[in-house]
Chain A
Amino acid sequence: MSTRLPTFGDMKAQELKGLLLDKRLLGGGVLFAALALYPGLTMNAYHTRLLAWIMCFAIAALGFNIVLGYTGLLSFGHAAFFGTGMYTVVIAMESAGITDLIVLLVLAMLAAGVVGAVIGALSVKTHEIYFALLTLALAQLLYVLAARDVGGLTRGTDGIGLSRPDFLGIPISEAPAHIYLMGFYYHVILVCLFATIAVLWLVLRSPFGLTLKMIRENETRAEMSGVPILRYRLYSMVLSAMIVGLAGALYAVVVGHVTPEYLDWTMSGEIVFMALLGGIGTFLGPIIGASGFIILQEVALGVTTYWHFTMGLVLFVVVLTLREKGIWGGAKALVDDLNERRDDS
């Protein structure tokens, strides 16, 4: 008994788990390669753009889910971090003349982190609906500041168009738009998505991740275990904000135009929507949710002008039937179920 293995089972379980992990790594590798080759093989600019778009929002939904799925706080203010990421890039390029993509992305994450720290510090003491409303209100404040052009940096509701950043001193921005996207920028987003997945996978399985789950599951106990819960809620907000800020920064270059709409509450709502759709109770759910949302939006927009209504209906059905499992968790449960039945017979 004293040599019990980390997975808390016998040796076979341990090996099995190792295999499973490898299978997941393998699956991830294959997916990465397929996604990386897609633009070059198909030369389909529309699909590439759509995929870039999806990946940006997948990063945002993953980042958002740290707060909702792990710490158990429903934020309705994540547009603030997404928008901050976007505005940081465009303002740093326009006003400070910074053109290097890496620098811009780092700046955007830092700026979003700072906004996350401020909004977090003001809101982590509250709970549930109050937390949702407070984060919403604080984010909305940022929207108003940007829309009214307070400080003269945002040019109000017209927004600011931005040019393409360079990379490590290579004047890649001079390439034509579709080549820039299909040959370079799309791959930057892809790498960022997989890096985010890897980092979050690790972090959420660390003592830090366990601490967030402790807070979600039982705050009283967490505190009575010696955890400063407010501080950890704040940490989770900052981490979440930085990742959502990265998503915003990446997205800014894809759309090429930054307006206050990205700071608006509807943007926060869309991020919440994606996470719920894919499943907040699962690690990869938010990615599925972001993909589903954007594809659905494309389809619904094409066939009906009532796309908001259509989307609402879909979310309603998914949440009602699958709850926190979402599409991804629901599908996994279904596969498990089928496997069990096959084993039984």
Chain B
Amino acid sequence: MSTRETDSTSTTQNASTEPILRTENVRKEFGNLVAVDGVSLEFYDDEIVGIIGPNGAGKTTYTNLISGALSLTDGTIVFDGDDISDLRKYKRVRRGLVRSFQIPQIYDELTVFENVQSSVLSRKQENNRLFSLTHRDTASIEETERLLEMFNLESHADEHTEHLPHGVRKILDVAMSFALRPKLMVLDEPTSGVGSREKNAVMETITDAAVERNIGLIFIEHDMELIRSYSDRIVALHEGRVLDDDDPAAVMNSEAVNQFILEGGV
């Protein structure tokens, strides 16, 4: 297991008692529509949290606020002890707050290997190296190989990503996010579009890797089976508000959750 690089910006106190991420009264309005309506939640780096909610509940919007893809209308986001509410997207990533995508965001004209290596080099902030050859850079190559192994992607290493099956693209997207050595990873529907037989394998790969590397996970999911199997805690959102936030059994039995989410047929 690799040691986490010491980052001058991080002020990690005691990781398991301090939340890695805290949102306070986070709010997002689109014109008259309030998509996220004062959400206050805490997340720790040793847990896997599932977010559920009907379509339009504000799940994606909430994660976009966390990643910085959308700006806050109101509220505060504290990550690893620092207020990051106004921090640019790429700077949040550099601090270890990483997201993966509902639709895989990968580089189609590059090989699987290059896709992962590019993330490794970005994490090391070596994008500005002008006169060194990436195909001779043994440090990043070895790390890339380990990641490919971890996500069972070795057999695809030299393939261009365009023609990969959807499940593999999904895994590659996650592998690229892992290459960034996040402290917390936010996954928007990591199994959407993946065949139902593959879903468990995808989740398994992701959660194993997260546990192995001490990465906190937040994942949005519509599949209640997956939510129940893989989360330590469930947050239920409804109309932009937190309906429930508890351990899986309690949330699944909650009356409000049953009324608004489970019976809604999502």
Contact = CB atoms under 8 A, between A and B. Distances in A.
B134 A207 contact: yes
Contacts of B118: 210-211, 214, 225
Contacts of A222: 122
B131 A214 contact: no
A177 to B, nearest CB: 38
A203 interface: yes
**Chain A CB within 10 Å — which of B105, B117, B125, B157 has the most?**
B105
B119 A225 contact: yes
Contacts of B135: 6-7, 205
Contacts of A4: 141, 145
A75 B220 CA distance: 40
Interface in B108-153: 108-111, 113-114, 117-119, 121-123, 125-138, 141-142, 145, 149
A99 B105 CA distance: 53
Contacts of B154: 1
**Chain B CB within 10 Å — which of A203, A217, A220, A229 has the most?**
A217
B110 A2 contact: no
A33 interface: no
Given A2-B145, A8-B157, A206-B131, A225 B109 contact: no
A226 B121 contact: no
Contacts, number: 115
A235 B111 CA distance: 24
B131 A228 contact: no
Contacts of A2: 142, 145
A278 B232 CA distance: 57
Interface residues of B, number: 49
B115 to A, nearest CB: 9
Given A4-B145, A8-B158, A210-B134, A226 B93 contact: yes
Nearest to B133: A205
Contacts of B128: 207-208, 211, 235
A332 interface: no
A170 interface: no
Nearest to B112: A8
A36 interface: no
A224 B129 contact: no
B131 A203 contact: yes
A1 B149 CA distance: 10
Given A207-B121, A225-B180, A227-B122, A202 B89 contact: no
5 contacts: A211-B122, A213-B107, A213-B109, A225-B176, A227-B122
Interface of A: 1-2, 4, 6-9, 202-203, 205-211, 213-214, 217-218, 220-229, 232, 235
Given A224-B90, A224-B98, A226-B123, 10 more contacts: A9-B158, A206-B131, A208-B128, A218-B107, A221-B106, A224-B89, A224-B99, A226-B180, A229-B90, A235-B128
